[in-house]
């Protein structure tokens, strides 16, 4: 199967096999849209800007992103265990402990990116400085997503031998392929997500509701799609090193080095 269609195939398989887990980001997105609608967010572009930092919207936005992060754990385990829905649902204390640093890393970026403008305003930072910081951080998130794919995928299945730094060390030979896969696969869906948001502006309640429901389903699909891209990158990066995504470390575990789990 073509490398650029595989993530879509995997995302669909996860959605069909694990509908309740698939629905978690959708429910969070619907809840956020309900709050946004109540705040007048979809009346116009000006109203959208005015309600951008509405407290309810921000809180639910954070919950939605956390749901996306949790999908990383669920979907990775689903594929690694041969499309086994039970593996996606199963909670293992040791594996969860290995995955906590991944979640902590993701949450750090959530605070920096989503709360950055609010924090900057509270600190009275110059607007130009804030724009510069955001201009640096946004591409940085993309680069880190590529370089840390192996770390995220292996820890989700209980293999703690590929740490933060080891993942970065293994990536250079596959970096441009991985970046291209990310952009080609994710950008069209992200563009559609924003198109739907603007398409909901100034419409009747029925039309706005229909568009926002479609957007919520799109976000639900985007969750495993993003993880599938990460999974494909991890497969390539590890494969070039003679390794693989193997539950509990697998037969290749000994060749990777000492168990690190965290940042080593």
- In the chain, where the domains are located: 6-255
Beta strands of 33-91 (E only): which ranges?
none
- Alpha-carbon gap, residue 192 to 233, rounded angstroms: 23
Of 141 and 235, which is predicted with more confidence? 235
Each residue's pLDDT tens digit, 68-115: 999 999 999 999 999 999 999 998 899 999 999 999 999 988 888 888
User: Which pTM does this prediction carry?
Assistant: 0.89
Nearest to 111 by CA among 79, 147, 141: 141
CB neighbourhood size of 89 (10 A) = 13
Residue 251 has what pLDDT?
Answer: 41
From 79-83, 121-125, 134-138, 191-195, the region with the lowest mean pLDDT: 121-125
Each residue's pLDDT tens digit, 11-66: 999 999 999 999 999 999 999 999 999 999 999 999 999 998 889 999 999 999 99
Residue 204 has what pLDDT?
Answer: 96
Nearest to 214 by CA among 17, 25, 24, 26: 26
Of 91 and 232, which is predicted with more confidence? 232
Residue 78 has what pLDDT?
Answer: 98
pLDDT higher than threshold 50 for residue 232 = yes
Q: Residue 263 gets which letter from DSSP?
A: -
Residue 257 has what pLDDT?
Answer: 37
Each residue's pLDDT tens digit, 201-215: 999 999 999 999 999
pLDDT higher than threshold 70 for residue 255 = no
pLDDT higher than threshold 70 for residue 200 = yes
Of 111 and 233, which is predicted with more confidence? 233
Residue 121 has what pLDDT?
Answer: 74
The proportion of the chain whose per-residue pLDDT surpasses 90, expressed as a percent, equals 76
Q: Is 5 helix (H, G, I), strand (E, B) or coil?
A: coil
Each residue's pLDDT tens digit, 157-181: 999 999 999 999 999 999 999 999 9
Residue 118 has what pLDDT?
Answer: 75
Mean residue pLDDT of the chain comes to 90
Q: Give the pLDDT band of residue 1 (cuts 50, 70, 90).
A: low
Question: Angle formed by the axes of helices 6-17 and 205-240, to 10°?
Answer: 120
Instruction: Spell out the residues 6+ positions from residue 103 whose beta carbon is closer than 8 angstroms to its own.
Output: 69
Residue 112 has what pLDDT?
Answer: 81
What's the chain's Rg over C-alpha atoms? Answer: 19
Q: Give the pLDDT band of residue 128 (cuts 50, 70, 90).
A: confident
Q: Give the pLDDT band of residue 263 (cuts 50, 70, 90).
A: low
From 79-93, 178-192, 218-232, 239-253, the region with the lowest mean pLDDT: 239-253
């Amino acid at each position: 199967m073509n490398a650029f269609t595989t993530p879509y195939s995997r995302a669909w398989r996860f959605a069909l096999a694990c509908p309740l887990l698939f629905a978690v980001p959708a429910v969070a997105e619907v809840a956020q849209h309900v709050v946004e609608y109540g705040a007048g967010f979809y009346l116009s572009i000006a109203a959208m800007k005015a309600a951008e930092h509405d407290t309810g919207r921000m809180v639910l936005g954070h919950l939605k992103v956390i749901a996306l992060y949790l999908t990383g754990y669920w979907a990775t385990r689903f594929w690694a265990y041969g499309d086994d829905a039970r593996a996606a649902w199963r909670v293992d204390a040791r594996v969860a402990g290995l995955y906590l640093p991944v979640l902590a890393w993701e949450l750090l970026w959530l605070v920096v990116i989503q709360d950055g403008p609010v924090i900057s305003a509270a600190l009275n930072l110059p607007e130009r400085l804030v724009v510069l910081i955001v201009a640096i951080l946004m591409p940085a998130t993309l680069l880190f997503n590529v370089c840390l794919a192996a770390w995220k995928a292996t820890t989700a299945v209980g293999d703690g031998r590929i740490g933060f730094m080891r993942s970065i060390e293994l990536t250079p030979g596959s970096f441009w392929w991985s970046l291209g896969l990310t952009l080609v696969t994710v950008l069209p869906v992200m563009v559609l997500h924003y198109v739907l948001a603007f398409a909901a502006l100034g419409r009747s309640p029925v039309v706005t509701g229909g568009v926002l429901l479609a957007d919520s389903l799109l976000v639900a699909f985007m969750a495993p799609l993003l993880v599938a891209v990460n999974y494909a990158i991890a497969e390539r990066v590890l494969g070039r090193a003679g390794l693989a995504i193997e539950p509990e470390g697998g037969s290749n575990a000994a060749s990777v080095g000492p168990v690190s789990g965290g940042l080593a």
